Structure formats: C-alpha cells, structure tokens
Structure 1
Amino acid sequence: MVTDGRRALVIGASGGIGQAVTQALQARGDTVVTLSRQQDGFDVTDEAGVDRALAALEVPFDLVFVAVGVLGTPEKTLEAIDAQAMAQVFAVNAIGPALILRHMGRLLPRQGRSVCAVLSARVGSIGDNRIGGWYSYRASKAALNQIVHGAAVELGRSHKDSVVVALHPGTVATPFTADYAGRHKTVPPQEAAANLIAVIDGLSGDATGGFFDYAREAIQW
C-alpha cells in the first residue's frame, strides 16, 4: 500500500494491538484517526453512540482497522455457560463490530483500493476446534467472521476495490491474554502490529471476505 496521503481509522486504539497499530501507521506517515472506549468513551454496545461517533468523522478512509473485543471468562464445560455473560461477549465481539460495519459504505471510498480489517481469532474457526470449551468467545468470533464475510460481499457491489477481511493476530502479550496465554508463544504488540500491517498491505482484491492469520495464511471457517 502506498502511504502518501493515506488516512486510517483505528477503532479500539487504546488496547494493546490497536495502540501498536496506530503507532506503526503513524510512524510510516499515515494520518490516523482513533476511537476507543478509554479515550473517547466509544462503546460498541451503545448503538446510538456508535452512530454518532462514526457519523461525525471526516471521510473517506483508506484503512479501517477494528480492534475491539472482550474475552470474558472462558468456559471449560457446557455446564459453565451463563446466559448473561455470553450475551455480553456477543455484544462486544459480534454485534459491536456489526454496528461499525454498517457504516462502512460511507467510511470507505467508492473508488480506489481500501481495506477494512477486523480482528478475529483462530479459536473462532469451527473447523479448527479440536478441544472444545471457550463457548462464548469461540461462538462470538465465529459469528463475527460471518458478519465480516457478508459485509465483504455487500460492499463488493458498491465499493469494487474494497477488501474486507477478518484477521487473527496470534497470541499477543497484552493484558487481554495475560491470564490465558499459558504455553502459547506470545509476541509483543509491536511485532503483532507489524505483522498485521504487512498482511493488510499485501492483500489483493480476491482476498476480500477472507479469514487470515498474521502470516497471511488462510484460516478455515
């Protein structure tokens, strides 16, 4: 991606990955607009608030990076499922990004390459689920992947050069993963950001609607 004059919107910019992506984009010369709950009171579960915040932005953006999410308390068994807790995870991980994506027709240019990248997670892959558990988080990310794929299909009709994807960043060393990383290899946010930006820059038009990891490898649904 050529960066001269490029504008990016990072949503969830106060989190570990969102902040690192913001800094990396700024370091290479992009103009970056940020939104976050911590800095701006941007709450993805507040439908009216999402609409107000996104409607107030000067558009278009060449890149929209959505880095919102919540882990909740991962369930180890079916008996541990709690309806209220599950609803909250879905509200942040699936419905929240959907409320953002419904503004994408205005946020992205109708002509010229643009990218909307939404952070997902490999555990949202149904085909890759071999150990069970983590029901709320897995299911919310699987739902998010479907929403992203559908958005890519729809936007492809009006924004023919747009690329809309779900991305898995790997296990990143942030407070989000601190209690659950376990034996998984972690990478610092700065490395994760560099990997994700490299993936975004290298995506071709036929990648739209896809689900990719930090090495640009496709992940099964």
Structure 2
Amino acid sequence: MSNNALVIGASGGIGAALAERLARDYAVTRLSRSADGLDVTDPASIERVLGAVEGPFAVVFVASGILAPPGHAPEKALDAIDAEAMARTMAVNAIGPALVLKALVGKLAPGARIGVLTARVGSIGDNGMGGWYSYRASKAAANQITHGAAIELGRKDKQSVVVALHPGTVETSFTEGYKAKKLSPEDAADKLVGVLMGLDPAQSGGFFDYAAKPIEW
C-alpha cells in the first residue's frame, strides 16, 4: 500500500497544518503557488508541477482557494458584484480543483482518499443569509465537481473516497476580522484528516464538515 500523501495549497494556513499532520504517517509532497509556482488556474502550470511528481498517492488534500481576489471582498449585495473578480474567484475555487483532479488520474494508489476543501457557505440548502455571491457560487461548483469526480473514480476503484470537506472557521489570514469562533489550523487539520480517513467508500461523493457531519447540498 502506498505511503505517499499530497497536499495542494501547502503554504496556506490550513494546507500547511494538513501537511504537518499527514507527515506523522505519510511521506508528504507539498505543493503551492508560493513554493513551487503552482497556479491551479493554469493548465500548463499544473501539467509542469504535478507532472513532475510520481506518487502513487494514498491521500490527497486540495486546500487551495481564495475568499476574493486582492482588492476585493465577498459581496454583501448584488450591486457589489464585479464580473472580473467573480471570474477569478470561480477560476481559483472551482476550475482549479477540477484541473487538479484531472491531473491526478493515474497518480492515485488503490483505495485513495481525496478531500477537497470547500465551505459550508457553498451549500444552497443551508444558505439563509444571502450575499457572498462569488464565494458561495464557486464553492457550490467545487462541490459539484468533487461529487462528479467521486462517481467517475469510483467506477474504476470502488474503495476510493472522494469528498468535499468544510474545515470550519479556521484562524488564518483569510479570517482576520471575523468574530466567529475559530479553530486553530492544527486542530482543523487533525479533524479533517480524521474525517477523511474514517469515511466508508459508500460515503464517497458526499459533503462533510470537520466533525464528520453531512452537509446538505
């Protein structure tokens, strides 16, 4: 069985903590934009960086993402929507994970487990407040991409687990200024690894929070 793990977005607060947590049990490959020049929105960059790693990987976390592009913030109202900012958010948060999953085909160990970090605000059914149009839409799209990938990969490997994961509100640069109760990156990473490793293949394609509770779509 493979002892290799991969973390995409390993320079971020959650990604770095996930890599450290996985390093207790796996040989971890850490990839990020700042350290490796990995641009998840650029197919050529993904082919260059991910094409250079061999695997096979038993565990993968896709922890890349943005709340909004530099100079922008999540929208509070429709009149705050900016087309270019929305397109960039969708590119990083939805198209990026899709391209990463595409590049991972052929690099996964039998029974591989993949966790794509999305967010509870990507749930349509749980949206009772509105706002945050770009971020919500991008995470909802990432959820759909993850669900579809789980179906496809499950046809080839019935023991694989591919899920969307909500890490909770984590103490990182993304959440500065937010008053919600926050998890430390280390605590969030420990919980997320526990959830991913504890899921049954029958639960592949689902959407779960850091306490392993299902989230409605």
**Can you give the 5+ residue segments of structure 2 that lack an aligned partner in the other structure?**
none
- Correspondence 1:208 to 2:204: yes
Q: Partners of 1:120 and 1:90 in 2: how far apart?
A: 12
Aligned match of 1:6? 3
Aligned AA (1:103): A
Where in structure 2 are the equivalents of 1:120-139 lying within 5 Å?
120-139=118-137
Q: Partners of 1:103 and 1:40 in 2: how far apart?
A: 16
> Could you tell me the TM-score, scaled by structure 1's length?
0.94
Aligned match of 1:144? 142
Q: Partners of 1:147 and 1:24 in 2: how far apart?
A: 26
From 34, 40, 61, give the equivalent of 1:38: 34
RMSD of aligned C-alpha atoms? 1.1
Q: Partners of 1:165 and 1:122 in 2: how far apart?
A: 13
Q: Partners of 2:202 and 2:187 in 1: how far apart?
A: 26
User: In the comparison of the two structures, how many residue pairs are matched?
Assistant: 213
Deviation beyond 2 Å, 4+ runs, structure 1 = none
Aligned match of 1:56? 52
Aligned AA (1:8): A
From 10, 16, 29, give the equivalent of 1:19: 16
SS at match of 1:106: coil
Aligned AA (1:89): T
Q: What percentage of aligned pairs have identical amino acids?
A: 59
From 190, 202, 210, give the equivalent of 1:194: 190
**Can you give the 5+ residue segments of structure 1 that lack an aligned partner in the other structure?**
none
Q: CA deviation at 1:21?
A: 0.7
SS at match of 2:7: strand
From 207, 213, 216, give the equivalent of 1:217: 213
Q: Partners of 1:130 and 1:14 in 2: how far apart?
A: 32
Contact persistence 1:59–1:106 (CA under 8 A): no
Q: Partners of 1:122 and 1:157 in 2: how far apart?
A: 27
Q: CA deviation digits over 1:133-167, x for unaligned, max 9?
A: 00000000000000000000011111221100000
Q: Partners of 1:203 and 1:43 in 2: how far apart?
A: 30
Contact persistence 2:2–2:57 (CA under 8 A): no
Contact persistence 2:10–2:63 (CA under 8 A): yes
Distance 1:189 1:60, change over 3 A: same
Q: Partners of 1:124 and 1:37 in 2: how far apart?
A: 24
Q: CA deviation digits over 1:72-121, x for unaligned, max 9?
A: 11100011111000000000000011000112321212x3x210110000
Q: CA deviation at 1:5?
A: 5.7
